[in-house]
């Protein structure tokens, strides 16, 4: 099947042909015809199958007629992360070269005034994250009464990030007669309930079983100890990897992202980092550097695990096994995209065995071990950091002489005595000697004369002879207003 058979407009077909695509992916071939007719679509497909183009292309065809008004966008696309929203904006700019459409991007970490200017000018396509969208709406800067098409992308990621209440609120704000395109890689019970509530007689498009991994990805497990030994294992895998063009290293925590990134840079690897605590310009700079080839390794958290289309990623390393098994599907989906081959390696420690069993139960597949298993793993050796620390300790102690070997004796040793040393007493003898020792008598205090009564005591502060008599009242410094005569008020005659 070709794109020309899907019913797209001529302008869209020319843009697709200019991009170098001729054959649609399965999710595109099944979803685009229904989306062009205005039906609600529920699309389920594994990551990397072209879900973005499955809703961008029919939206461009339908938006060729009509024009947006100020503060009233015509279409709305909800994305869970800023990077995904920026990626969808790039897709509209790529396929909408021949369309004069206004595309507005509402994400956090960017100037509020610049985004407001785009909304006031009129937006045909509004791409937003739920938090910033509701912020605009509550300030009265945005109206959702003109929404014709609503797209909810990466719905399972919305669930993980806690955006489902926001999604429910937004769905109640848009018109009831809208068209809804709903895409997700997995279908947890909460997502199923959401589709039943807000989709009207949807067409279910499922090109692969939910939570399955691509067959073009070679998956493997590597046993390792924790701490510094785990970082050494990662560096060894990066050095020994075959056909390594670029790689993404996933960590569960933001703190571990910073530690692993610092370790790789210290050992000469061209690496960058990406996590949620970074500001938006820094996040986009790291992502652009990885896409452009300025850095070969990107250490990131799960913020980059969903939907990011980074072309031709050869390897994915899971430094930590994900605590949610669905995240494993999205992580390794960053490689092996669009039919290419890829390699995914997960480092496993004894703490990760529980997560490994959950992952294998989800994908219905046993992942092969590369090298010895955890039970056959030799005991941990000193890591490079431990060896360096031990070397520094030896260097500090190398110039010292032990106390017993010092030529200068202590103060106690300098006391010369001809008496033989006293023999050590047993504990019981020591206790008996202490009990037999007479108690110390406190020295008796000298007898003091009794103090006189209080009335007969002399004052502590005595008047000096040159001070004169005690001052009474104001003394000679009487204020003038007190010297004025007082006039009594005359009584009224009765």
Looking at the fold, whether 174 and 71 belong to one and the same domain comes out as yes
Which residues are CB-contacts of 440 (< 8 A; sequence separation ≥ 6)? none
Q: Quick check: is 415 in a domain?
A: no
The residue among 413 and 35 whose pLDDT is bigger is 35
The phi and psi torsions of 69 (rounded to 5 degrees) equal -110, 165
Other beta carbons within 10 Å of 284: 17
**Which percentage of the chain shows pLDDT scores above 70?**
79
Looking at the fold, whether 180 and 101 belong to one and the same domain comes out as yes
Looking at the fold, whether 202 and 227 belong to one and the same domain comes out as no
What are the helix (H) ranges across 108-188? 112-121, 130-138, 155-160, 164-173
> What is the arithmetic mean of pLDDT over 206-233?
85
The residue among 202 and 487 whose pLDDT is bigger is 202
Q: Quick check: is 308 in a domain?
A: yes
How far apart, in whole angstroms, are the C-alpha atoms of residue 341 and residue 313? 9
Looking at the fold, whether 143 and 39 belong to one and the same domain comes out as yes
Looking at the fold, whether 240 and 133 belong to one and the same domain comes out as no
Domain end point (choices 150, 184, 206): 206
Q: Quick check: is 172 in a domain?
A: yes
> pLDDT at residue 39 above 80?
yes
Both tokens of 408, joined, read 């200068």
Domain that holds residue 45: 3-206
How far apart, in whole angstroms, are the C-alpha atoms of residue 16 and residue 447? 113
At 322, which CATH number?
3.40.50.300
Strand runs labelled E in 315-437: 315-318, 342-348
| Chain mean position to CA 276 | 4
- Which tens digit of pLDDT belongs to each residue from 453-462? 777 776 665 5
Which residues are CB-contacts of 13 (< 8 A; sequence separation ≥ 6)? 3, 4
pLDDT at residue 232 in the model: 94
What are the helix (H) ranges across 177-268? 189-198, 228-240, 254-266
Looking at the fold, whether 87 and 144 belong to one and the same domain comes out as yes
DSSP state of 232: H
The residue among 465 and 389 whose pLDDT is bigger is 389
Q: Which of 446, 185, 467 is nearest to 331 (CA)?
A: 185
> What is the arithmetic mean of pLDDT over 146-161?
89
> What is the arithmetic mean of pLDDT over 71-82?
92
Domain end point (choices 378, 402, 423): 378
> What is the arithmetic mean of pLDDT over 345-357?
93
> pLDDT at residue 187 above 70?
yes
> What is the arithmetic mean of pLDDT over 401-409?
44
The count of structural domains within the chain is: 2
Looking at the fold, whether 323 and 195 belong to one and the same domain comes out as no
Q: Quick check: is 336 in a domain?
A: yes
Q: Quick check: is 408 in a domain?
A: no
Looking at the fold, whether 12 and 149 belong to one and the same domain comes out as yes
């Amino acid at each position: 099947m070709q794109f020309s058979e899907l019913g797209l407009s001529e302008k869209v077909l020319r843009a697709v042909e200019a991009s170098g695509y001729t054959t649609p992916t399965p999710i595109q071939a099944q979803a685009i015809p229904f989306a062009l007719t205005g039906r609600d679509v529920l699309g389920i497909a594994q990551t990397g199958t072209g879900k973005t183009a499955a809703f961008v292309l029919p939206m461009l065809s339908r938006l060729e007629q009509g024009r947006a008004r100020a503060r009233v966008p015509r279409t709305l696309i909800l994305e869970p992360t800023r990077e995904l929203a920026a990626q969808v904006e790039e897709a509209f700019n790529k396929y909408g070269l021949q369309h004069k459409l206004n595309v507005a991007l509402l994400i956090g970490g960017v100037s509020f005034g610049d985004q407001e200017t785009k909304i006031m000018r009129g937006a045909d396509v509004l791409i937003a994250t739920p938090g910033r969208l509701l912020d605009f709406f509550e300030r009265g800067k945005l109206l959702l009464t003109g929404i014709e098409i609503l797209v909810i992308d990466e719905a399972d990621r919305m669930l993980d990030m806690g955006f489902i209440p926001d999604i429910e609120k937004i769905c109640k704000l848009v018109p009831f007669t809208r068209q809804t395109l709903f895409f997700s890689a997995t279908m947890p019970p909460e997502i199923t309930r959401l589709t039943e509530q807000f989709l009207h007689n949807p067409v279910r498009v499922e090109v692969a079983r939910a939570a399955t991994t691509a067959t073009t990805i070679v998956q493997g497990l590597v046993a390792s100890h924790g701490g510094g030994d785990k970082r050494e294992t990662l560096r060894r895998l990066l050095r020994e990897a075959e056909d390594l063009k670029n790689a993404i290293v996933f960590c569960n925590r933001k703190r571990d992202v910073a530690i692993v990134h610092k370790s790789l840079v210290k050992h000469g690897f061209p690496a960058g980092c990406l996590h949620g605590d970074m500001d938006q310009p820094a996040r986009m700079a790291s992502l652009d550097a990885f896409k452009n080839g300025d850095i070969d390794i990107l250490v990131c958290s799960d913020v980059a695990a969903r939907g990011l289309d980074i072309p031709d990623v050869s390897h994915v390393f899971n430094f930590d096994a994900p605590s949610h098994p669905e995240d494993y599907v999205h992580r390794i989906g960053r490689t092996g995209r669009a039919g290419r081959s890829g390699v995914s390696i997960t480092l496993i420690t004894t703490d990760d065995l529980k997560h490994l069993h959950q992952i294998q139960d989800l994908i219905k597949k046993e992942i092969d071990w590369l090298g010895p298993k955890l039970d056959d793993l030799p005991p941990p050796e000193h890591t490079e950091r431990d060896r360096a620390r031990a070397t520094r300790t030896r260097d500090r102690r190398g110039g010292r002489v032990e106390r017993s070997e010092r030529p200068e004796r202590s103060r106690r040793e300098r006391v010369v005595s001809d008496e033989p040393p006293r023999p050590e007493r047993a504990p019981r003898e020591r206790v008996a000697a202490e009990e037999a020792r007479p108690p110390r008598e406190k020295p008796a205090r000298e007898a003091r004369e009794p103090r006189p009564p209080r009335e007969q005591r002399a004052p502590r502060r005595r008047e000096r002879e040159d001070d004169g008599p005690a001052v009474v009242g104001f003394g000679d410094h009487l204020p003038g207003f007190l010297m004025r005569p007082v006039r009594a008020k005359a009584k009224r005659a009765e």
